[in-house]
Amino acid sequence: MNKTKRKIFETSMKLFAEKGYDATSIEEITATVGVAKGTLYYHFSSKEEIFNFLVEEGIKLLQNSVDIKTAKFSNYIDKLKSIVLIQIKIVVKYEDIITILLSQFWGSESRNKTCKKYVFSYIDKIEQIVKEGIEKEEIKKGDPQAIASEIYGLIASSIVYKVRCNKIDVMKLYKEFESTVIEGLKIK
């Protein structure tokens, strides 16, 4: 991604997270970035395309991080622990993209459907790990879809926690989730 496209990407992400998609205009994006509309349209054909690019890149970042980290473990509980830690770190580093995903998840507009599609593809990845862990008898029997959704839900609770505390101690929060959520999935 070239410098201008990255600046449009980062500025749009910040504006969408702070003001919301509907309240952010192309004019505001170009003014904040300091480029002409033509330059923005050279990189993106519309505000919707910028939004879709943000969501796709955000989920790719999350999925790639999960793929790399979980591949290092053979134990499925350890895979889930790594997912929890990655999600907390992503919230800390990329809070804006998570805010956008969560704020645009509901509704029937095209962008809402896009968010759902990408979030569900990520949850499906977690669900597959949970299913395999159950099959290998490393994770308690349960509904893999519900468990995967709960783990994804940690992102939302991490943002709420960060807002309440004004910051996150990543390892402290991870240890809390590990002892309350992950420990409950272990076969004793």
Our count of domains for the chain comes to 2
Verify that 3 and 76 share a domain, yes or no.
no
Verify that 69 and 145 share a domain, yes or no.
yes
Verify that 59 and 144 share a domain, yes or no.
yes
Verify that 109 and 181 share a domain, yes or no.
yes
Verify that 39 and 75 share a domain, yes or no.
no
Verify that 165 and 91 share a domain, yes or no.
yes
* Domain carrying residue 124: 52-185
Verify that 36 and 57 share a domain, yes or no.
no
Q: Could you read off the pLDDT of 22-80 as tens digits, one per residue? A: 999 999 999 999 999 999 999 999 999 999 999 999 899 889 999 999 999 999 999 99
* Confidence at 94, pLDDT banded by 50, 70, 90: confident
Verify that 58 and 6 share a domain, yes or no.
no
Q: How many other CB atoms are found less than 10 A from the CB of residue 42?
A: 13
